[in-house]
Amino acid sequence: MAEWATLARPYATALFNLAKEQDNFEAWSGNLALLLAIVEDPTIQQVIANPKVDKPTLVKLMWEVCCDERTSQAAKNFVKLLVENRRLGAVPQIVLQYEQLKAQHQGYVKVNISTPYPITSAQQQAILEALQKRLHKRIELTHTLDSSLLGGWIIRAGDEVIDLSIKGRLHQLAMAMRH
Q: Is the Cα dihedral 84, 87, 89, 93 positive or negative?
A: negative
Q: What is the pLDDT of residue 2?
A: 55
- pLDDT in single tens digits along all 179 residues of the chain: 558 888 899 999 999 999 999 999 999 999 999 999 999 999 999 999 999 999 999 999 998 888 777 788 898 999 999 999 999 999 999 998 999 899 888 888 888 899 999 989 898 899 888 888 888 888 888 899 998 888 888 988 877 888 888 888 888 888 899 87
Judgement on whether residues 29 and 71 belong to the same structural domain of the protein: yes
Judgement on whether residues 153 and 170 belong to the same structural domain of the protein: yes
The distance from CA 84 to its chain's CA centroid, rounded to whole angstroms, is: 22
Judgement on whether residues 121 and 159 belong to the same structural domain of the protein: yes
Contact 16, 32 (CB under 8 A): no
Q: What is the pLDDT of residue 52?
A: 93
Element (H, E) at 128: helix 121-135
pTM of the model: 0.69
Judgement on whether residues 71 and 136 belong to the same structural domain of the protein: no
DSSP 58-70: HHHHHHHHH--TT
CATH number of 95's domain: 1.10.520.20
Judgement on whether residues 92 and 113 belong to the same structural domain of the protein: no
Best CA proximity match to 108, nearest among 81, 132, 142: 132
Q: What is the pLDDT of residue 28?
A: 92
Judgement on whether residues 94 and 7 belong to the same structural domain of the protein: yes
Domain stop point among 54, 76, 102 = 102
Judgement on whether residues 88 and 133 belong to the same structural domain of the protein: no
Judgement on whether residues 29 and 85 belong to the same structural domain of the protein: yes
Domain stop point among 102, 137, 166 = 102
Domain stop point among 102, 131, 149 = 102
Distance of CA 26 to CAs 37, 97, 142, Å?
A: 16, 15, 18
Q: How many domains does the chain have?
A: 2
Judgement on whether residues 12 and 76 belong to the same structural domain of the protein: yes
The C-alpha torsion from 93 through 94 and 98 to 99, rounded to 10°, is -40
Contact 32, 98 (CB under 8 A): yes
Q: In terms of residue numbers, what domain contains 83? A: 2-102
Q: What is the pLDDT of residue 55?
A: 92
Would strands 160-163 and 154-157 be described as parallel, antiparallel, or unpaired?
antiparallel
Judgement on whether residues 35 and 98 belong to the same structural domain of the protein: yes
Judgement on whether residues 120 and 166 belong to the same structural domain of the protein: yes
Q: What is the pLDDT of residue 137?
A: 82
Using only the alpha carbons of the chain, give its radius of gyration.
Answer: 19
Judgement on whether residues 13 and 93 belong to the same structural domain of the protein: yes
